[in-house]
Amino acid sequence: MNTRKKGAFYEDVACRHLQQHGIIILERNFRCRIGEIDIIGKKNDCIIFFEVKYRHSDYNGAALAAVGFSKQKRICRCADVYCMLHPWIKNIRYDVIGITDTKLEWIENAFSHIGYSWN
């Protein structure tokens, strides 16, 4: 299975899990000039931006460790674009879904919004 197909497969797994937990999937693979957000969902009045990470095992570290500062920053910039396109959005959060061959880990509020830095 190539990388794109593997990514789509594990995003499907994540979407099914999220839907079972009451998340409404609004969009998948939202792209902007800055990057991409894997899944955008909604629960109650909160819009949730999900990053999905697959690892063969936990040997190389947990999924959250794979979402470094620069990746978080790109996700936040894309979320800013999404929110500009949907001005009704008030509450947001950033979650990470880590999937290995044996488990799925959902980290809610995995990181905070990274604002603009003018330095």
Q: What is the pTM of this model?
A: 0.90
Give me the sheet containing 91-99, strands edge to edge. 24-32, 35-43, 46-54, 91-99, 104-111
What's the pLDDT tens digit per position in 71-113? 999 999 999 999 999 999 999 999 999 998 888 999 999 999 9
**Which parts of 27-85 fold into alpha helices (H)?**
69-85
Sign of the CA dihedral running 90, 28, 67, 22: positive
Q: Which CATH number fits domain 3-111: 3.20.20.70, 3.90.1150.10, 3.40.1350.10, 2.40.40.20?
A: 3.40.1350.10
What's the pLDDT tens digit per position in 3-34? 778 788 889 999 999 999 999 999 999 999 99
* Domain map (residue ranges) of the chain: 3-111
CA–CA separation, 93 and 112 (whole Å) = 7
